[in-house]
Structure 1
Amino acid sequence: MNFLVWAVISWTVAFILVRKIFSKRSFNFCNRIVSTLHASLAVTLCSLTVEDWGCPVCPLASKSSPSQMKTLAVTLGYLIYDLICCLFDNHVNIDNIVHHLVSILGIGAGLVYERILFAVIFTLARMVAGPHLTYVTLSADNPLLIKAMAFGLQLVSAFWFYKIARMVRFKLTKRRKSLKET
């Protein structure tokens, strides 16, 4: 819990520093810089916490390591910070709030139960809600760069969903073969 509070405070301080550095830029621009920092840090931390790159999610439904728990806390802290930022923005977006609340509940559950339900959470968040959010972003009057980034993120999500689904299929096929052999 202390680490989570520290994470929320750290993301808030990062935002305040970015606002000071880019004082002539908009609230949304500064928040997107912090979002980019979070995305970069999250990928780095997640990569560092994988214990076996031959099977990154093995053993399935295992307890998270302390470094994985801290990574989840950093991301949860960011999502809490970003949810609060969304409420202070000029235009409150219900889709964005729902996205944050679902993500906070999912990651919070992962922290409480010390289990990473990554495949399920990823599938629901990125492959069910994600295409809808991408559609809303693409159909709205957004700058081309925002539309391109939304579409790009959805393509990345689809790629990782494919990789996860392929790995799950491989594991299930391998398990069935081993059961038949015994």
Structure 2
Amino acid sequence: MENYVVNVIVFGVISWTTLFLATRKLLPKRSFDFCNRIVSTVHACLAVTLASLSVQDWKCPVCPLASKSSPKQVGFAVIFTFARMGGGPYLTYVTLSADNPLLIKAMALGLQLVSAFWFYKIARMMIYKLAKRTSPIKTTKTQ
């Protein structure tokens, strides 16, 4: 792994541990789970904020569609496909068939539906790019 990636991971672990311990000190009468939920909520809000900042043009957040795919984008698409469309249905089945509360079952099903939607978007993009790459260049001769 590259050095900056290791530094970011170590910084993240230290900062989240510090935030959790500070939350436990500030709210001593609250439960462990409550403090964990607060830290998780902060983590989710920060992740959404950072993801929003990475979008360069809000008029078209997923543009350009016809741009060249980087190896990291291709790797993400492959990993996403195997993880979410391979293991996701199995985990959804296990969650739905187990004795879980209705909210947990609904969240598992919703997550699987969102995964299927994103898989559809990724597959559509791949088909578009493969069709564009294999189609011959048509030139018309005008006189």
TM norm structure 1:
0.56
Task: Pick one of 129, 142, 151 that aligns with 2:109.
Answer: 151
Question: Is structure 2 residue 8 aligned with structure 1 residue 3?
Answer: yes
Asked if structure 2 preserves the Cα contact closer than 8 Å seen for 1:22 and 1:30, the reply is: no
Q: Flag structure 2 segments of 5+ consecutive residues without an equivalent.
A: 1-5, 139-143
* Residue 160 of structure 1: how far off its partner (Å): 1.0
Aligned residue pairs: how many? 127
Asked if structure 2 preserves the Cα contact closer than 8 Å seen for 1:127 and 1:157, the reply is: yes
Q: Flag structure 1 segments of 5+ consecutive residues without an equivalent.
A: 63-114
Who is 2:46 aligned against? 41
Q: Which has the larger radius of gyration?
A: 2
CA distance in 1, matches of 2:63, 2:93: 35
CA distance in 1, matches of 2:49, 2:78: 22
Give aligned-pair identity as a percent.
61
CA distance in 2, matches of 1:151, 1:61: 31
Amino acid at match of 1:55: P
Asked if structure 1 preserves the Cα contact closer than 8 Å seen for 2:88 and 2:112, the reply is: yes
* Residue 148 of structure 1: how far off its partner (Å): 1.4
* Residue 16 of structure 1: how far off its partner (Å): 3.4
Task: Pick one of 18, 23, 33 that aligns with 1:13.
Answer: 18
Written as runs of structure 1 = structure 2, the 5 A alignment for 1:150-169 is 150-169=108-127
Written as runs of structure 1 = structure 2, the 5 A alignment for 1:75-154 is 115-116=72-73, 117-154=75-112
Task: Pick one of 66, 69, 76 that aligns with 1:60.
Answer: 69
CA distance in 2, matches of 1:170, 1:43: 28
* Residue 141 of structure 1: how far off its partner (Å): 1.9
